[in-house]
Amino acid sequence: MYVAVKGGEAAILATHDLVAEARRGDEAVPEISVAQIREQQGLACARVMNEGSLYDADLAALALKQSQGDVIEAAFLMRAYRTTLPRFGSSEPVDTASMAIRRRVSATYKDLPGGQVLGATYDYTHRLFDFALMDNGSVMVGLDPTISGHEGASATGDARVEPEHDGSAQPATCPLDAHMPRVPDILGAEGLMEPEVAPEGDPRPFDLTREPVSFPADRDVRLQAMARGDEGFLLGLGYSVQRGFGGNHPFVGEIRVGEVSVEFVPEELGFAVDLGEITLTECQMVNQFAGSKDVAPQFTRGYGLSFGHSERKAMSMSLVDRALKCREFGEAAQYPAQQDEFVLYHSDNVEAAGFVEHLKLPHYVDFQGELELIRRIRAEREQRLANENLTLPEAAE
């Protein structure tokens, strides 16, 4: 229960001015623009789009600027805006197999059909400060081509690796293959990967923003909740299943980052219309399954799909997705990452932040009630102890 606080309106309005002042910072320093955030803080924008459940890099950059870089507050802004948008329906399923690849790596096949495409990644960088980034120059700061040995790699971002006969890896600038099959599809062709079949009738996926979630939740609900869930929470859960709270140590079958087309079928037309392209990150984990009485030994998959370039999110999501499939394979659900109710109820950082941060708001009546309760209990305790002290000497006599 909340009560009105007299005289607080002026103070609240004053905080708006203080927030604007804090957001701007030192006026001697040039103000950062939304375009700069969008172009130079792309990974942060991707996280805001995922957790805000809305694909719009410009709005994500604006939300980050308005929230002073607070990702959860920025996601909250995105979700609030999302509720004002008209809804026309659901798009057709995107085809990640025909993705225009920017980056594509696999930990399962060295000679992956189509090749490994390293792209832009921090995987091979040293965690050392690059103080050149503090300069105010207009040139792009990156690897010295004389060090990398490949001038085209830093210029184009196409750092493709092709194994040589001696086992070493050499960068190449040849065009990417038109056909890059997904690793689970390769295993599936041999019958070694669990098949994934659409439900009968291929119904539209559940929309947790419009319908209440019930448990046990179907996989489309779980994936939707994790796609907009907090990256750090999912990362912790994914880490937990690798450390023994779930018994799962998979292989990265494939991570691919790139652009895919989004199509929509208007009712009045009856055929698909291309709405444009979006950048997605897809991760498919490969997990061993010893089999059961009815199912032969095979590999199972964990799946993660996220907006923008967000590999950590997609990987965490795929780890937890496989953990949540435990009942489908007759495995006991013993750990947090295997409990769909625990995962879905606690992965939403906007809800979690609201519930935690509401503790800052006035709770005067509640606290006064508890304060009086504690005072009464203490008074009763002291009276009881006093009575016991009075009766002890009489008992001794």
Is a pLDDT exceeding 60 seen at residue 5?
A: no
pLDDT in tens, 152-206: 443 334 445 544 434 444 455 677 777 788 888 888 888 888 888 877 777 888 8
pLDDT score at 6: 54
Percent with pLDDT over 70 in the chain? 86
| Token digits of residue 376 | 């009464």
- Top pLDDT among 134 and 145 is at 134
CA–CA separation, 170 and 150 (whole Å): 9
Give the pLDDT mean for 370-388: 92
pLDDT score at 12: 84
- Top pLDDT among 138 and 386 is at 386
DSSP symbols for 83-117? TTS-----PPPP-GGG-EEEEEE-SS-SS-TT-EE
Is a pLDDT exceeding 60 seen at residue 256?
A: yes
29-38, 202-211, 244-253 — most confident range: 29-38
Is a pLDDT exceeding 80 seen at residue 390?
A: no
**SS3 of residue 276 by DSSP:** strand
Is a pLDDT exceeding 50 seen at residue 359?
A: yes
Using the structure block, give the residue that is written with the tokens 């002890």: 392
Q: What is the DSSP letter of 228?
A: T
61 within 8 A of 41, measured Cβ to Cβ? yes
Domain chopping of the chain, boundaries? 12-82, 96-115+177-197+205-341
Is a pLDDT exceeding 70 seen at residue 242?
A: yes
Total Cβ atoms within 10 A of residue 143: 13
| Amino acid, res. 81 | Y
pLDDT in tens, 51-66: 999 999 999 999 999 9
| Token digits of residue 100 | 């225009």
Rounded to two decimals, the pTM is: 0.83
